[in-house]
Structure 1
Amino acid sequence: MKSQEAVVDEDWEYRRLQLPPGLSRRAAATQLSIHAEFAGWELSTVRLYADGSRRVWLRRKRQPAATGYLAS
């Protein structure tokens, strides 16, 4: 599985995954579940290609940037 760096827009952060051909549907679902449960990603788009590979876009809400100080 290849992962690309995240792409960020105003409200969302996106990450593209390339799942190899021959990876079963169950194994792909398990990989995506791990990303969802432990990193907060949700499924945005899936493309299945003729060779059996899948290109998946995941997204999650952007986290507010840390300000570097504590409010009192």
Structure 2
Amino acid sequence: MTERSERPWGVGRMHTPTEEGCASAEYEFRVLNFPRNATRSDVRQVLADHAEYGHWELARTRLYLGGARRVWLRRRIIRVRRTA
């Protein structure tokens, strides 16, 4: 498994509409690349660990012709607003 990123966490921002309509949510993304010899159970275990401990969710997965997999994970960026 390798990670493709110039920044430590593969941070990317994407604005998507939420339930309120005009408000937008920001996400950070992490891209994971798995070689063709990675088993399905190994990939599942890595993704489960990211979901459980890092609060990542699956955004997209792609299986390439040679058997390599690329997986995009995302998690919501929570902005803390100053109250005083």
TM bin (shorter chain): 0.7 to 0.9
Equivalent in 59, 67, 70 of residue 74 of structure 2: 59
C-alpha root-mean-square deviation of aligned residues, in Å? 1.8
Aligned residues: 69
CA distance in 2, matches of 1:55, 1:45: 8
CA distance in 2, matches of 1:33, 1:6: 20
Q: How high is the TM-score relative to the length of structure 1?
A: 0.81
Structure ranking higher on relative contact order (CA contacts 8 Å, 6+ apart):
1
Partner of 1:32: 47
Judging changes above 3 Å, is the alpha-carbon distance between structure 1 residues 61 and 52 closer, same or farther for their aligned structure 2 residues?
same
Q: Any runs of at least 4 consecutive aligned residues in structure 1 with deviations exceeding 6 A, and if so which?
A: none
Task: State the identity %.
Answer: 35
CA distance in 1, matches of 2:37, 2:81: 41
